[in-house]
Amino acid sequence: MTATMTDLWPVAAVEAPRVLRGPDLTGEAVLDAARSFMARFVAFPSEAALDVATAWAVHTHVTDTDGKLAFETTPRIAFLSKEPASGKTQALMRMGSLCRNGQILGDVLALGFASLISEYRADVLVDEIDGMIKGGGGAQQVRTLMLMGYQQEGAQWMRGSKPPISVFGALAFAGLDKKWRSAPSMEALRQRTIMIEMSAAAPGSVEEYRPREHRALAKAIRNDIAVWCQHNAGTILELYPEAPEGIHSRNRELCDPLLQVADAAGGHWPVTLRAALRELLLGESDAPPEIPLLTRLLEALEGIFAGTRQLSTVEIVTALFDLPDAPWRKLWPSDATAPRELAAMLAPLGVSPVKVRVGDKTMRGYRRVDLAEHWDC
């Protein structure tokens, strides 16, 4: 096999973190920002899946002075689906954009895989894991490295008389569910993996990720994660978290690094993440059904318009931002790009901004008649 790699983020350089911004940069705030970012662009199947993916991305930033992942174990995480076009690759990429040094791999060779982890301290993200399920030789060797690298102790790849290479590092992947679950060759790796079942999302349920507009936001959030982890690495690594009820043995190992992050972050995260892990690993959940983001937007617009025939985009965005306990200000932090974000969410419904009259001015906005047919959906 020939190794190929898409460098979504430079391998050799991780951006310097921004200056610590005082009390606002709490662990809870950092994880909440990362969670909100991924929720904008990925239709996760549950709140639990989103919570775990958030903690996983953050845990990759907890490193020693040599830049190596500092936990004793690092759980593998898999985005799986029964069919293509389910959003699994998007989930892998958006989570990867918040990792310390996320690198997407396609066709994988053992030496390239090991070098990324050992030399470049990369968090390896493997798309189309199906290609690794069958076959011997090189594929078997890579599967072995993926398995070895789960635990820091003993994660040394010996290549004849050459110096050993450490393959301990973060690993996430995406692939088809049926092949992954049924392949005997993947049994040991399955036991070390938190699995998230993706499914095709309804049009408009999430925003389209546009690199020119959103890459800078991902970088800013990633830098905040880095700052918080650097300042709190000692606290995180000294924690011995209590396992969620019903979780033991191997599953306990999967949970520990993520729980160390959540417990250090504080706020709602210790409770939130334990509930999420119990749901994903044990299938137990008391969470209420999630209301899709587009549904929340339509409900908000119905209240904002009330008896008004038309409103400018500026008026709508301002009203959305003023709603109590609403997510729009967090989802659209830039006033300059918020109108485009609103338009992108409404576009799948066939609703586009038009010219409206506001006083004696003509501005871009929306008409009640174009939105009303969607308010009873």
Q: What are phi and psi of 100, to 5 degrees?
A: -60, -45
Residue 317: helix, strand or coil by DSSP? helix
| pLDDT score for 21 | 56
Q: How would CATH label the architecture of 293-372?
A: Orthogonal Bundle (1.10)
* Token pair listed for 108: 């994988």
| pLDDT score for 6 | 34
> Which residues on adjacent β-strands are paired with residue 63?
69
Count of CB atoms within 10 A of residue 202's CB? Answer: 11
| pLDDT score for 159 | 77
Question: Which residues of the chain have a pLDDT value below 50?
Answer: 1-20
| pLDDT score for 32 | 94
Residue with tokens 């993926």: 146
Residue with tokens 């871009």: 364
Q: What DSSP designation does 208 have?
A: P
* Token pair listed for 51: 């919570």
Give the whole-angstrom CA distance, residue 282 versus residue 4: 36
CB 300 within 8 A of CB 327: no
Give the whole-angstrom CA distance, residue 210 versus residue 54: 20
Q: Render 262-289 in DSSP notation, one character per residue.
A: HHHH-TTHHHHHHHHHHHHHH----PPP
Burial class (CB in 10 A: 0-12, 13-18, 19+), 88: buried
Domain with CATH 3.40.50.300 in the chain: 5-215
| pLDDT score for 22 | 55
Pairing relation of β-strands 5-6 and 162-166? unpaired
Give the whole-angstrom CA distance, residue 127 versus residue 23: 38
Which are the contacts of 79, defined by CB distance < 8 A and separation ≥ 6? Answer: 87, 88, 89, 91, 92, 172, 173, 174, 196, 198
Q: How would CATH label the architecture of 5-215?
A: 3-Layer(aba) Sandwich (3.40)
Domain with CATH 1.10.10 in the chain: 293-372
Count of CB atoms within 10 A of residue 260's CB? Answer: 21
* Token pair listed for 101: 């040094």
Give the whole-angstrom CA distance, residue 307 versus residue 97: 43
